[in-house]
Amino acid sequence: MYFEIRLRKPEGVFYIVLMPKSSRSKSKTKSQAPKSTNHSHPKARLISSRTVYRGPAFWVTTDQVQEPGGVSVRRDIIHHSGSVVILAVDDSGPTPHVLLERQYRHAAQDYLWELPAGRIDPGEKPLPAARRELLEETGYTAAHWRRILHFYASPGFVAEAMSVFLATGLRAGQAKPEPDEIIHKRMVPLPAAIRMVMTDKIRDAKTISSVLWLDHRVGRGDLSKI
C-alpha cells in the first residue's frame, strides 16, 4: 500500500511515493524472523523399494522416490547397521598421542592408516560396540568415553552413519582381532598425525575428521577437557 503525490511542472510529472510506516516495520520484522529448521523441510516420498542384494555386512535396495522438488527418480542405496570409530588418545604427557592402525583395504587396494573402527552388531548400542572394537583390534581399554562426532560416510548412496567416540585413560592389553584382520598399531604424536593428514599419508575420511577435531580442541587450549 502506498500514497502518491503528483507535482506538475513544465518538464513533466514527478511522483513522490510515501510508504506507510507500519509497512516498513512489518517488512523489517519479517526479515528478522528466524529461519525454518531442517525439520520443516519436505522429504522425499518413497514410492517403492526392493532388496536387490543382502550380504553379511550390508544390503542394497533399489528405491523409486519422489524427491522434495517433485521429480521421480531411482535411488540405489547401500544400507548398513552403523559403525563406531574410536579416537583413542594417550593424554598422560604434554603432547597427546593418537592410536592409529595400519591395515590392508581391498576397496582402496592399498594399506591405510586409520583409527580403530567397526560395525555395530544388530541390537548393539554404539558405546558397547566402541568398547568391543577397541579391545578386539588393539587390546586397549579406556576409562573415559565420550561421543564427539556423528556423520554419514557417503550420503549420496550409502546410508551408513558413523559415531566417533573419544577414549582416554588408556590401558594396554591383549588384542583379539578377527582371523582376517592383520592390524599394526602405533601411538602417534598429534603433530605427526596432523602432518600425515596434510601430506596425504592418512587418506581415510573418518580418521581425518577425528584427528582434525582433536587438533582444534588442543589448539583452543581445551586439552584438559578432551
Determine contact, residues 90/178, Cβ cutoff 8 Å: no
- What is the C-alpha to C-alpha distance for residues 190 and 93, in angstroms, rounded to an integer? 12
Backbone angles phi, psi at 196, to 5 degrees: -65, -40
Cβ-based neighbour number of residue 116 at 10 Å: 26
d(CA 213, CA 220): 11
- Looking at 4, 137, 160, 181, which residue is catalytic? 181
What CA–CA distance (Å, rounded) separates 206 from 209? 5
- With b for 16 or more beta-carbon neighbours within 10 A and e for fewer, the 41-74 pattern comes to eeeeeeeeeeeeeeeeeebebeeebeeeeeeeee
Active site residue 181: yes
Cα gap 35→52, rounded to integer Å: 40
Place of cell 604424536: 189
Catalytic residues: 181
